[in-house]
Structures are given as C-alpha cells and as structure tokens.
A and B are shown apart, each in its own frame.
Chain A
C-alpha cells in the first residue's frame, strides 16, 4: 500500500512556481521522502529526497513540515518540459532493499 496521498492532477503556468503537495501522516522516524517524476513514455526520474531538513538541488526544492507528516516539492520556474506525473514516496534509506512503493502520483500540466 502506498503510504502517501497526492492530488491526482494540477496545472501550472509556464514560468511560475509549481508547488506539489504530499501527505505522509504515517511516516516513520527512519523513512525518507523521495520524489520522482515520469515523463510520458519514459522511466521515472529521481528528483530529490530528504529526511527532515529542507533540501534543494538543481531540479527542485523539498520542504518537509516539522512534524514530517507532509511535504511540498517546488519547481521554482516551471517549463513545458516539466509536464509529467510526479510521485511522492516514503521509504527507509537502509540496507533492507528499498523497494519503492509508487502511488498514483500527481499529473502536473504546465501550460503556456
């Protein structure tokens, strides 16, 4: 069972920030929050992950609430190429195999 809840779809205007929410109210202390995205007809692409601190890389920022029950992925300046399905996943980053469980994700549509 997926441990996260995401809105099924969102729209964003090109050039604006895209803020994708994720609820993970049953997250355990050793579980990380991962974000992947999947562009049509391609395999999923890793974006970012974090435990409790906010994280930023060249693709996105990840904001995790203090109680860790929810997070937001931020694409600061969305482009048409960011149109994809975005998956939020929680998993323990340990030696147990890390079999990621994907839910339905959020289909982000970036519009001109």
Chain B
C-alpha cells in the first residue's frame, strides 16, 4: 500500500462547472477525512466518514458540496456550480479509529477561472 492517493492532482475549471475529486485511503483505515486549504492557511476540516457513514460535516460544506464513500473504501468529493472562492487545495486523509495520526494524500489543487 502506497498511502493515500488523490486524483486528479490539479484541476482547472470554469466557474459554474461541476467537479469531482477522488480519494483512495490506506486500505485498512476505516476513517476518511476531507480538508480544504487556501493559500497561507492551515487545512480546514470539511467532513469525515467512518466506513461508509458520513458522521460529521463542517459548516464550510455548503449545499454545493457533497461527499460519498459508497463501500467504505474510496471517497468522492463533488462541487457543483463552482465559484472562484472554491479555488483551494482539497486534502484527503485516512486513519484507524482510536489510533492517533492521520495519513494525508498530496491533495487536489482546484483553480476556478
């Protein structure tokens, strides 16, 4: 297992378009997290899953954002009707419950033009 994989690494889209990102966590990790990071800031929590259940969503996650983890393995984050303010790095992380320390992926950098 090579860690947490995110695809694509970079995405440029026009305002108003929909985008979808994928995250493949470490296989034995049952928790999966999505974070967003803007330039010069620390990562901000968006949502997390334990297995296939989405257990927490941040207020940052507007109605245009939706995340799924259908079989408790990979996850997708979709942004509908993108806005310029959505431009950021979207980070995925996974962990085992009870055990400290996340493993982050390298992120997907979204640019909305």
Contact = CB atoms under 8 A, between A and B. Distances in A.
Interface of A: 2, 32, 34, 36, 41-46, 49, 85, 87, 93-95, 97-105
A80 to B, nearest CB: 20
User: By CB atoms of chain A within 10 A, which of B41, B42, B55, B104 has the most?
Assistant: B42
A34 B97 CA distance: 16
Nearest to A101: B45
A54 to B, nearest CB: 16
Given A95-B97, A97-B56, A99-B48, A45 B41 contact: no
A99 B56 contact: yes
B100 A34 contact: yes
Given A34-B101, A97-B56, A99-B48, A43 B106 contact: yes
Interface residues of B, number: 28
B75 to A, nearest CB: 15
Contacts of B58: 99
Contacts of A94: 98
B30 to A, nearest CB: 11
Contact of A49 (B35, B55, B100, B103): B100
Interface of B: 4, 31, 33, 35, 41-45, 48, 50, 55-56, 58, 91, 93, 95, 97-107
Contact of A44 (B41, B43, B95): B43
Contacts of A99: 33, 45, 48, 56, 58
A15 to B, nearest CB: 28
Given A49-B100, A105-B42, A98 B95 contact: yes
A93 B48 contact: no
A100 B98 contact: no
Pick from A32, A36, A94, A99 the residue with the most CB of B within 10 Å. A99
A97 B48 CA distance: 8
B93 A43 contact: yes
Given A32-B100, A95-B98, A43 B107 contact: yes
